[in-house]
Chain A
Amino acid sequence: MQNPVDQDLTDAFVELIRHAATVLPPDMEKAIRAAKDNEEPGSAAEGAFFTILNNVEMARDASTPICQDTGTPIFEIHYPLGVSTRRMAEQIRKACAIATQRSYLRPNAVDSLTGKNSGDNTGVDFPTMHFHEWEEDTIHVDLLLKGGGCENVSTQYKLPDSGLGAGRDLEGVRKVVLDAVYQAQGKGCSPGVLGVAIGGDRGASYIKSKQQLLRPLEDKNPVPELAALEKRIYEEANALGIGPMGFGGKTTVLGVKIGALHRLPASFFVSVAYMCWANRRATMNVQPDGKVDYAS
């Protein structure tokens, strides 16, 4: 048995990537199944959900990507004292290259100046990695594959916003988040999951909004005001009637998750991370005895 501090986790990261790209988390699949049953029989919306669910099963069975846009791989790593984050970052980059070779990932890292694709999902600050030291003796890694279509409809607001009648309070937050859903229509592969962050500077706010997407759909926000806001936005966003793919229908979002950060007195940002229905997240735990397990 190796101490996880010294363990080479390259192969484990490859498996984590495969899992995230090819297996939709069970809570997402359950929510999509319920949404399908809720649509009018024979409608385009029901047909879209039917195709989505067939695809989810086929991808899982064949171990091929659910969506060809395997997105930006975002790794959130919790590690015990003594782990070399530099070495682990090297292992993650190597795993991305191997996963690309095995067609679990599409080559997705493009040089912004030359337009050249690196071919292996590595590049300047690509993939995204955030390291957090913690008191536990295990390594815990969450991976989110964040597609480009839904990233393009993700957005950030600066309150107050007079056009939307949104002030610096939770009512203002509600209004801008609904605006984001309306503006996105079907372009972010609805029904989506909304990760929302209130506060922070612009950068911290965006990161926090993406981290919200790692929460299970069925969890409950420990802050009562935010739990109430999540519920209200979920109901109102679905009342917009945009539906799957923007075909019109009863389900426009599958979940709303909101977090809050301290902010400057001068700034009040609200970031909305729109995630497509293919909310590809997976988790890996490395025990002190070196044993690795995966979940989604």
Chain B
Amino acid sequence: MHHKLTTPITDEAIRALHIGDTVSLNGIVITGRDAAHKFLVDRYVKADVIAAEDKDLYDELKKLLDGGIIYHCGPVVKKNEDGTYSFVAAGPTTSIREEPYQADVIRHFNVKGVIGKGGMAANTLAACAEQPAVYMHAIGGAATLIAQSVKEVVTVHKLEFGVPEAMWVIRVEDFPVVISMDSHNKSIHDIVQAESQVKYKELLGI
């Protein structure tokens, strides 16, 4: 089934999504990968007190991520002559590296969707069921195509992490994704792994 969604996304809209569904995503998305996830968890989720220098960004991210979307992506970015930025190539990066952080980030910020590739594991799936939220699979390597659906780079946070690791706030139109983990405890990745395991054991004789 195909859906069209615009951020901020409601819980009802998330519950209506099932693995295998395709989505055209619209609205605001924030990129965040390894450095960003470590930062979010160390400085916000697990911090007893939020440091004064991190407070403004915290307030900003709480607004953007409430009902919002995190995209595991380290883009190729062009700086335009007027000082604005454009995305040149922006496919997903492998999501499993964020597994130690993702569930905490989903719960703390009320994130509704995580876009990436390769799927995630049990902690994230549990957070998706509970929050609710979904994991949205973009096509790995389809960087030029996805960059076309990024209509505007609104701003960037933590550029000192480097271009790939910074948190880019982007506005997207009809960003194509497949729901590969839904809020009903179903994961395409678990299903394919289990099915391939049968054949794998047969081929190895183990």
- Chain A residues at the B interface, C-beta cutoff of 8 Å: 44, 47-48, 51-52, 54-55, 58-59, 62, 64-70, 103, 105-108, 110, 115-117, 119, 147-149, 152, 163-165, 175, 178-179, 182, 185-189, 236, 239-243, 245-248, 276-278
Contacts and interface: CB of A to CB of B under 8 A. Distances in A.
A188 B141 CA distance: 10
B118 A48 contact: no
22 contacts: A47-B178, A52-B142, A55-B144, A64-B88, A65-B143, A65-B144, A66-B89, A68-B88, A68-B91, A69-B74, A103-B77, A105-B76, A115-B162, A147-B141, A185-B119, A186-B119, A187-B94, A240-B203, A242-B192, A245-B117, A247-B188, A278-B141
Interface residues of B, number: 53
A65 B76 contact: yes
Given A54-B142, A147-B141, 16 more contacts: A52-B141, A55-B144, A64-B147, A106-B164, A115-B161, A116-B162, A149-B94, A165-B206, A178-B200, A178-B203, A186-B189, A239-B203, A241-B199, A245-B117, A246-B118, A247-B180
Given A68-B73, A68-B91, A55 B96 contact: no
B75 interface: yes
Contacts of A188: 94
Contacts of A241: 192, 195-196, 199
B195 A66 contact: no
Given A47-B178, A117-B162, A240-B200, A55 B145 contact: yes
Given A52-B139, A107-B163, A248 B191 contact: yes
B163 A58 contact: no
B196 A277 contact: no
B35 interface: yes
Contacts of A182: 196-197, 200
A246 B194 CA distance: 12
B161 to A, nearest CB: 8
A3 to B, nearest CB: 36
Contacts of B163: 106-107, 117, 119
A44 B20 contact: yes
Contacts of A178: 200, 203-204
Contacts of B117: 149, 186-187, 189, 245
A54 B93 contact: no
A243 to B, nearest CB: 7
A106 B74 contact: yes
A152 B118 CA distance: 12
Contacts of A276: 140-141
A179 B141 contact: no
Contact of A55 (B75, B143, B197): B143
Contact of B141 (A66, A164, A185): A66
B90 interface: yes
Nearest to B180: A247
Contacts of B161: 115, 117
B83 interface: no
Interface in B142-158: 142-148
Contact of A115 (B35, B78, B93, B118): B35
B176 interface: yes
A64 B144 contact: yes
B37 interface: no
Contacts of A103: 76-78, 88-89
B203 A186 contact: no
Interface string B64-96: 000000000111111000000000111101101
Contacts of B123: none
* 5 residue pairs, one from A and one from B, having the closest CB atoms: A117-B162, A187-B118, A189-B140, A55-B145, A68-B89
Given A66-B141, A246-B119, A185 B206 contact: no
B188 A152 contact: no
A243 B192 contact: yes
A62 B140 contact: no
A239 B143 contact: no
Given A64-B147, A185-B118, A247 B178 contact: yes
